[in-house]
Structure 1
């Protein structure tokens, strides 16, 4: 799994001109799922996401986690994170999981995050044409890959 994590002061996702999810202070996460991802990847990413110290303390130093600041999460599925661009100009998405595998894993990720934080998790809709808006706070953007843990 690949997660692009952005610290935001606000973020929202619209589907067919209606807001499906929105948050204030917290993390907007784009999640790409591969065919061989599993529960271990979900648990590792969840631990990293909620405990990563990327929020400012009283001295303006990134020393607090999402849990410390009681931040919110907006989780968006994004298969294009697994694009291969090695050949030609048209990306290949062969590594991205098909919906029959990706949807259950996406839902498990939502559930795992929901169990670990006290704020409500917001999300997009798997496979939908979504319009994502955000105000990146910092800017802070971090990429995590559960296949590259070391």
Structure 2
């Protein structure tokens, strides 16, 4: 699993003309899934995300987590995170898991992230054409791949 985590002062997801998710201070988490991903990847990533110290403390040092802040999270599926651009100019998405594998893992990720955070999170809609709006605070953007833990 690969995530792009963005610290935001606000973020929202729009599908069609309807806003389906909206948060203030918190994290926008984009998630990409491959066939080899499993529940161990989910547990490790969820713990990493909620404990990641990327929010400023009273000395303006990135020393607080989303748990410390009591902030919100939006999680959005994004298969393009596993794009291969090795050959040519058209990205290949062959590594990205197909919906029959990716949807249950995405849903389990959302469930586990809510449990680990201790409150509900908001989401986009798997496979939908979404418009994601955000104000990246910092800017702070972190990329984590559960297959590169060491």
SS in 2 for 1:95: coil
Unpaired segments ≥5 residues, structure 2: none
Q: Report the counterpart of residue 101 of structure 1 in structure 2.
A: 101
Q: Secondary structure at the match of 2:74?
A: strand
Identify the residue that residue 139 of structure 1 maps to in structure 2.
139
Q: CA deviation at 1:119?
A: 3.5
- State the 4+ residue runs in structure 1 displaced beyond 4 angstroms: none
- SS at 1:93's partner residue? coil
- Counterpart position of 2:20: 20
* Residues 70 and 119, structure 1, Cα contact 8 Å, conserved in 2: no
Partners of 1:110 and 1:119 lie apart in 2 by: 11
The TM-score with structure 2 as length reference comes to 0.98
Aligned Cα root-mean-square deviation (Å): 0.6
* Match in the other structure for 2:51: 51
Equivalent residue for 1:78?
A: 78
TM-score by length of 1: 0.98
Answer whether contact 1:4 1:29 (CA < 8 A) is retained: yes
Task: Name the CA distance, whole Å, in 2 between partners of 1:7 and 1:70.
Answer: 13
Which residue is equivalent to 1:120? 120
Which secondary structure does the structure 2 equivalent of 1:48 belong to?
helix
> 5 Å matches for 1:28-47?
28-47=28-47
Gap regions ≥5 residues in structure 1 = none
Q: Distance in 1 between matches of 2:119 and 2:108?
A: 17
Tell me the SS of whatever aligns to 1:80.
Answer: helix
Tell me which residue corresponds to 1:68: 68
Residue 44 of structure 1 aligns to a residue whose secondary structure is helix
